[in-house]
Amino acid sequence: MASPAPELVLNADHYSRVLRDILPTTKEFLWIATADLKDVFVEGGPKSRPFRPLVAVFAELVSRGVAVRLLHAKEPGPRFRADFDKHAALRESDLFERGLCPRLHSKILVVDGTVAYVGSANLTGAGLGAKGDHRRNFEAGLLLYDRPHITRLMDEIDALWLGRYCGPCQRRDVCPDPLDLRT
C-alpha cells in the first residue's frame, strides 16, 4: 500500500495538525529537533485554564512509556524551563532525553517512525503552539508519511544525538554541552 502524499501545513495548521492531531497519537517514541524552544501551550487543561503547557503532554507520554527525545539549539526560555521543572517524570525518567547543539537549525518532529513534520516552525508558541491567528508566525511545512524520507530524517537526528558532527564542528567553543561528551 502506498504512503499518503505529503501534506502541506501552513500557519495555524501547524498547531491543529501537528500538535493537536498527530502528537497525541504517539505510542512508542517522539523525536523533536528545533532551533528555538520556548513555552508552548496546547488544549486540554481544566475549564478554568483550557490550555496547558506542552511539557505536561511530554510528561504524560513518558508516564505511558513513550520515549521522548528533544534536541534544541539554545537553552529554553524561562517559562518553558519553569514548566519543565514541575514534571518529575521528565527530570527522572530515562525515557525523556534532551540535548543541545548550537548549530541545529532543523525543525523536525517524528512520531513512531510513521509520520514526520519538517518545516519552518520552531517549538515555540508563535511557531507550533496555540497562539491567536494575529500573534503567530507565518510558517510553512510538510507532513511526510513515506518511510524512506522518515528514515533519513531519523538517521539525521540520530547522528546529531550521537554527536557524530561534534568532532569536526568549528563551533565547539560556544557549545555548552557537546553531544559527543555525554555519558
> Considering the entire predicted model, what is its pTM?
0.93
As a whole number of Å, the end-to-end CA separation of the chain is 42
Q: Which residues pair with residue 117 across a beta bridge?
A: 109, 143
Residue extents of the structural domains in the chain: 7-167
What is the distance of C-alpha 131 from the center of its chain? 17
CATH superfamily of 7-167: Endonuclease Chain A (3.30.870.10)
Rounded average pLDDT per 10-residue block, the chain, 183 residues: 91 94 96 94 79 93 97 91 92 94 96 98 92 88 97 96 89 85 70
